[in-house]
């Protein structure tokens, strides 16, 4: 199986350790993973801010880069949802605007092959115990697009529960949005900040050392709020927990 890592532009630029963790984890599970160097951005920020036409070349570029792989794995529920839920919609809209089936036809092959990391582990590889060791108290925040657009369900929790040394504690109001929302965090920064602060206070009330999620964009917002509120908690991407074996990171 030819598996490609779609790391996302945010992870590539700001959170390379998440990418290294995905590579380490998948390699340990016997998957040979490739990183197509031409990959850039799925276009979600453009699409969700109202720049659908500007997002189209990015979607085409994504399809061009990834179309030959059997599976495309991404450590981002949000970017995964962009491909799986919104690429088909972009194709339909182009058709409705009388621009024919070309866009839909280009995008169609990559849509069903794109998996968020925890989906790939549980559904494709069929594992929940990935052999990780992570001796910390962890609370899990299910990010909105992973939860509602992709329907990740309890997959991330099942993976975390199988990690040795990890104590998973319930996050109150877990399914409430952290307030990131892409450009929402800047356009409506007061409401966004209030939502983030409430999320962090809920996380703090669990007594956990670590808040874990499957999306670094949300973790950037939550983590930035955590340090500002001086909580002492750390935001950690689920890939880094699952890749951890207690040895020093690569």
Partner 1 sequence: MSGTFVGMPAFPVAARQAVGNETLRGNLRHATHTIRDKRARAVAELDDWAALREAGKQIKDHTLRHLDRYLVQVEEAVTAAGGTVHWAADADEANEIVARLVEETGESEVVKVKSMATQEIALNEALEARGIHAYETDLAELIVQLGKDRPSHILVPAIHRNRGEIRDIFRSEMSEWGRPAPEGLTDTPAELAEAARLHLREKFLRAKVGISGANFVVAETGTLVVVESEGNGRMCLTLPETLISVVGIEKIVPRWQDLEVFLQTLPRSSTAERMNPYTSMWTGTTGEDGPRTFHLVLLDNGRTDTLADEVGRQALRCIRCSACLNVCPVYERAGGHAYGSVYPGPIGAILSPQLRGTKSEIDASLPYASSLCGACYEVCPVAIDIPEVLVHLRERVVQGGPAVRGGNRVVLKPAKGHAAERAAMRAAQWAFTHPGALRTGQRLASRTRRLHPRTLPGPGRAWSGTRDLPAVPAEPFRDWWQRTRGGKDGAK
Toward partner 1, which CB reaches closer, 186 or 248? 186
Distance CA 24, CA 34 (A): 12
Q: Does 192 bind partner 1 (CB under 8 A)?
A: yes
The string of DSSP letters for 203-239 reads HHTTT-SEEEES-HHHHHHHHHHHHHTT---EEEEHH
Name the segment binding partner 1 (CB under 8 A); options: 109-117, 131-139, 171-179, 207-215.
171-179
Among 6, 47, 87, 120, the residue binding partner 1 under the rule CB under 8 A is 47
Toward partner 1, which CB reaches closer, 55 or 166? 55
Q: At closest approach, how far in Å is the CB of 29 from partner 1? A: 17
- Tell me the per-residue interface mask from 94 to 133 with partner 1, x by CB under 8 A, - otherwise: --x-------------------------------------
Q: Does 185 bind partner 1 (CB under 8 A)?
A: yes
Q: Does 46 bind partner 1 (CB under 8 A)?
A: yes
Q: Does 184 bind partner 1 (CB under 8 A)?
A: yes
Do residues 172 and 202 make contact, with C-beta atoms less than 8 angstroms apart?
Answer: yes
Q: At closest approach, how far in Å is the CB of 107 from partner 1? A: 15
Catalogue the long-range contacts made by 111-114 (C-beta closer than 8 Å, 24 or more residues apart): 111/83, 111/84, 111/87, 112/84, 113/66, 113/69, 113/70, 113/71, 113/72, 114/6, 114/66, 114/72, 114/74, 114/80, 114/83, 114/84
């Amino acid at each position: 199986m030819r598996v490609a890592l779609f790391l996302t532009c945010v992870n590539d630029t700001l959170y390379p350790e998440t990418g290294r963790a995905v590579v380490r984890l998948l390699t340990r599970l016997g998957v040979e993973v490739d990183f197509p160097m031409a990959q850039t951005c799925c276009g979600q920020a453009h699409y969700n801010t109202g720049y659908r036409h500007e997002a189209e070349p990015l979607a085409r570029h994504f399809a061009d880069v990834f179309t030959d792989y059997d599976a495309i794995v991404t450590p981002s529920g949000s970017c995964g949802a962009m491909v799986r839920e919104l690429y088909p919609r972009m194709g339909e809209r182009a058709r409705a605007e009388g621009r024919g089936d070309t866009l839909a036809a280009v995008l169609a092959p990559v849509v069903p092959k794109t998996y968020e990391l925890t989906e790939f582990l549980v559904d494709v590889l069929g594992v929940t115990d990935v052999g990780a060791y992570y001796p910390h108290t962890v609370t899990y925040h299910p990010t909105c697009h992973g939860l509602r657009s992709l329907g990740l369900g309890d997959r991330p929790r099942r993976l975390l529960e199988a990690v040795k040394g990890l104590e998973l504690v319930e996050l109150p109001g877990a399914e409430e949005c952290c307030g990131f929302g892409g450009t929402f965090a800047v356009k409506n920064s007061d409401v966004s900040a209030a939502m983030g602060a409430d999320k962090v206070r809920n996380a703090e009330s669990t007594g956990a050392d670590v808040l874990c999620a499957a999306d670094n964009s949300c973790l950037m917002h939550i983590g930035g709020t955590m340090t500002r509120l001086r909580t002492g908690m750390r935001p950690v991407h689920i890939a880094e927990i699952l890749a951890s074996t207690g040895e020093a990171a690569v």
